[in-house]
Amino acid sequence: MDTDGHRLRQLLITRQLDEQITARFPVGRRLKVLDVAVRDGHQALRLARAGHRVTGLESDQELADAVRRTLLEEPEGIRERTRVIHEDSRNTGAHFLPGSFDVVLCHTGPAPGDEPGPLLAGLGRVLAPGGLLSLVVPNTEAAAMRPGLAGDWAGALERLAPADRALRRDALAAGLAGMSTPLHRWYGVQVFTAPGTPLPGGEEGELLLAAEERAGRTDPYRAVAALLHLCAVRD
């Protein structure tokens, strides 16, 4: 269900996420994973295939049904340890008991202009002590960079987010710390490329992926990435 335009982004986030899971949990441990706003099911299915028990939460009925149809094509063992729930993904804490999951993913929110506090509180509530929260948000503070560098001044002005609409990393980190889930590591996702950029084949694609991976872990480059990947750990 993954498209060519999302493949580069998914690869970068996957490698970052796997790095954090490997560092946090013993090899071979079967984790309880919640994927909030499961969308196309890429991460949920990938983690279920790796042996973890995965719950996907999706507000959009059509998307939830599409992932369920994909699950029908999977082996029985994967189907048994994966479920997709059609519920409001903005109110995660209302659907599960506190501390239910070892890993919580939220790779599609909050959006610019949203109040992130309620979403973060719900995510933190269902995360077990020592659990990993993986949060991907648009880097609104750097959104004007690409049109500006391309000479698109109107586009740059349009994307210069007002302070009250910017998803600031320091504010998100403070919110996470306030709910006993401090930021452990953060990455930039797509420093040099825009979301939707396809990954070329062959050597060109390998070089692009290597450059994006290194820049996404290195200051000052990661601060101007299109997306920010925040990894926090529950106290």
pLDDT digits 0-9 by tens, 58-85: 999 999 999 999 999 999 999 999 999 9
Q: How many helices (H) and strands (E) does the chain have?
A: 9, 7
Place of tokens 């029908």: 72
For residues 197 and 5, is the Cβ–Cβ distance under 8 A? yes
Whether pLDDT at 5 is above 80: no
**Stretch 13-32: mean pLDDT:** 96
* Residue 108 to residue 131: CA distance in whole angstroms: 20
16 DSSP β-pair partners? none
* Residues forming beta bridges with residue 9, ordered by sequence position: none
Q: ω into residue 200 within 30 of 0, thus cis?
A: no
Of all residues in the chain, what percent carry a pLDDT higher than 90? 76
Q: What is the pLDDT of residue 1?
A: 43
pLDDT at 110 over 80: no
* Mean per-residue pLDDT over the chain, rounded: 92
Secondary structure element (H or E) that encloses residue 203, with its range: helix 202-215
Residue ranges and CATH numbers for the domains of the chain are 4-149+160-233 (3.40.50.150)
Greater pLDDT, 164 or 125? 125
Could you report the per-residue pLDDT of 86-99, keeping only the tens digit for each? 998 878 888 899 99
pLDDT at position 116 over 50: yes
